[in-house]
């Protein structure tokens, strides 16, 4: 077991006032404790907010290029430690090594991207109606941003919240997910070594009910960004808005891929398998519904079943698909497998706990394919957050589009078709914040907006790219008469 990691508050590594700790186990081998972290409470969170409030003015007045230099140096340090960070991510979250390495690289790229954007922040000059007047805008930081991040992308999501917040001149308090906080601690370490002033970033580990709630409700924080389940996110949104905060939430999904009769079934099955089974299905943008034209349905199902059954399952360092992150997540997936069968769906592949020496102790599950699914079944309506794909048969494009939209969520959606008219209509009419043509529902570029509609988002502010900066800035209009 490694030494107990500490919170990062006001430029110092400190223990929680509770004296309690949290052990993080390896989901591929739960008897192995990977690391131990502080189990902090509201008083620890309050101290972090106080440190951020004290530091925000100096950081806001730091020139953008200097802020960018620090972000760039932090990204470089993360790059130098990429293998170490990948090891930590695999051990704590369970993700397959290739996926974990790609996620770490994404965090590095995000810091480098926003390091450049920090120099561009300033404002715009406008023409005034009268003479002898300068009319322009200034982009000001919001103040102190409270970030609450999830376990499924434990370095990428904190990075795409934190980097634009710092680039825009905000101080930050951050609560990482308790299941996999280690890589966030390493981000704080890199920023500290890069020269970030004391108090500008504060990281406190512990339960959301104590640490997260204090961050959200404390009068010292000005903005709240949360990623997680819709149920929790809606409570966070209510808390934050009641406290008068600017708030951004990115939540769950029930993401469809519509496969039309012009599609090649094998190619479509590759797209759905990559979107549905990648990251063990533990992605808010994962494909959980394949909505398939009846003319290619049978062949598509055969191809998807082949892919599900050929996936190599085991510990992430040696296998294609790792475990679910916890026993609770595994049990939830297995429960949905039972529910689907009870409602009349046919289990065409997987859905059980695999056997073998490599998978004997961990939270492993076989990727599942369900057929004979109707859109009123729970398996077609509720987020599973595991490697489970429900295949729904439709007779034409109109029915496919209707089924795709007939859920409470609207995060990501894709269509597989050779018909340009169908593709264009899907782009226009799919009720989702991210729409793809002939591509999987997962995978995001870092320089374009990301967010959902309906229960997938607060529909207030987008993340990533220039849209990510918008959330962390307030525009001030200046009239300068001379």
Catalytic residue positions, numbered: 284
Question: Exposed, middle or buried, 453 (CB in 10 Å: 0-12/13-18/19+)?
Answer: middle
DSSP 81: T
State how far the Cα of 363 lies from the Cα of 239, in Å rounded to an integer. 34
Count of H-run helices and E-run strands, the chain: 15, 21
Give the Å distances, CA to CA, from 74 to 58, 71, 106, 193: 19, 5, 14, 8
- Cβ neighbors of 466 (< 8 A, separation 6 or more) are 117, 449
Dihedral, CA of residue 31, residue 98, residue 75 and residue 10, to nearest 10: -20
Three-class SS state of 26:
strand
- Decide: 396 and 297 in contact? Cβ < 8 Å: no
Residue 159 phi/psi, 5-degree rounding, is -65, -45
State how far the Cα of 294 lies from the Cα of 393, in Å rounded to an integer. 6
- Decide: 373 and 304 in contact? Cβ < 8 Å: no
Residue 193 phi/psi, 5-degree rounding, is -65, -30
Dihedral, CA of residue 422, residue 424, residue 427 and residue 428, to nearest 10: -110
Q: Which residues of 214-234 are buried (b: 16+ CB within 10 A; e: fewer)?
A: bbbbbebbbbbbbbbebebbe
- Decide: 364 and 26 in contact? Cβ < 8 Å: no
Q: Tokens for 41, please give them.
A: 């409470």
Phi-psi region of 199 (alpha: psi -120 to 50; beta: other; left: phi over 0): left
Give the Å distances, CA to CA, from 207 to 112, 223, 443: 31, 20, 29
For strands 388-394 and 368-371, give the pairing.
Answer: parallel
Bridge partners, residue 389, by sequence: 369
Query: Residue 258: enclosing H or E segment and its boundaries?
Result: strand 255-259
State how far the Cα of 381 lies from the Cα of 367, in Å rounded to an integer. 18
């Amino acid at each position: 077991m490694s030494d107990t990691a500490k919170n990062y508050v006001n430029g110092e590594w400190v223990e929680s006032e509770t004296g309690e700790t949290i052990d993080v186990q390896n989901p591929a081998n739960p008897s192995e404790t990977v690391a131990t972290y502080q189990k902090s409470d509201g008083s620890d969170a309050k101290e972090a907010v106080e440190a951020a409030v004290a530091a925000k003015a100096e950081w806001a007045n730091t020139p953008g290029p200097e802020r960018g230099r620090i972000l760039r140096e932090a990204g470089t340090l993360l790059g130098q430690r990429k293998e170490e960070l990948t090891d930590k991510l695999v051990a704590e979250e369970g993700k397959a090594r290739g996926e974990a390495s790609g996620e770490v690289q994404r965090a590095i790229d995000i810091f480098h991207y926003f390091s450049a954007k920090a120099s561009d922040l300033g404002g715009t000059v406008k023409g005034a109606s009268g003479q002898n007047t300068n009319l322009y805008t200034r982009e000001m930081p919001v103040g102190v941003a409270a970030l609450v991040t999830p376990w499924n992308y434990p370095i990428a999501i904190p990075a795409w919240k934190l980097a634009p917040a710092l680039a825009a001149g905000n101080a930050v308090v951050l609560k990482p997910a308790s299941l996999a906080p280690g890589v966030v601690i390493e981000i704080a370490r890199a920023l500290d070594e890069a020269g970030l002033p004391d108090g500008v970033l504060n990281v406190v580990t512990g339960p959301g009910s104590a640490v997260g709630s204090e961050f959200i409700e404390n009068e010292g924080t000005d903005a709240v960004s949360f990623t997680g389940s819709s149920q929790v996110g809606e409570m966070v949104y209510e808390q934050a808005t009641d406290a008068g905060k600017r708030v951004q939430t990115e939540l769950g999904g029930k993401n469809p891929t519509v496969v039309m009769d012009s599609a090649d079934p094998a190619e479509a099955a590759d797209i759905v398998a990559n979107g549905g089974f990648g990251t063990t299905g533990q992605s808010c943008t994962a494909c959980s519904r394949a909505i398939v034209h009846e003319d290619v349905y049978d062949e598509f199902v055969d191809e998807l079943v082949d892919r599900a059954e050929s996936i190599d399952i085991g510990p992430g360092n040696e296998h294609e698909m790792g475990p679910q992150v916890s026993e609770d997540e595994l049990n939830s997936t297995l429960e949905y497998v039972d529910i689907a069968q009870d409602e009349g769906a046919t289990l065409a592949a997987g859905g059980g706990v695999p056997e073998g020496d490599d998978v004997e102790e961990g939270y492993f599950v076989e990727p599942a394919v369900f057929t004979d699914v109707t859109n009123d079944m729970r398996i077609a309506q509720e987020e599973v957050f595991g490697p489970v794909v429900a295949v729904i048969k439709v007779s034409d494009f109109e029915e496919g589009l209707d089924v795709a939209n007939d859920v409470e969520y609207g995060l990501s959606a894709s269509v597989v078709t050779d018909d340009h008219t169908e593709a264009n209509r899907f782009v226009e009419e799919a009720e989702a914040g991210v729409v793809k043509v002939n591509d999987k529902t997962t995978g995001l570029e870092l320089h374009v907006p990301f967010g959902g509609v309906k229960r997938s988002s607060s529909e207030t502010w987008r993340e990533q790219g220039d849209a990510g900066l918008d959330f962390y800035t307030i525009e001030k209009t200046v009239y300068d008469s001379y």
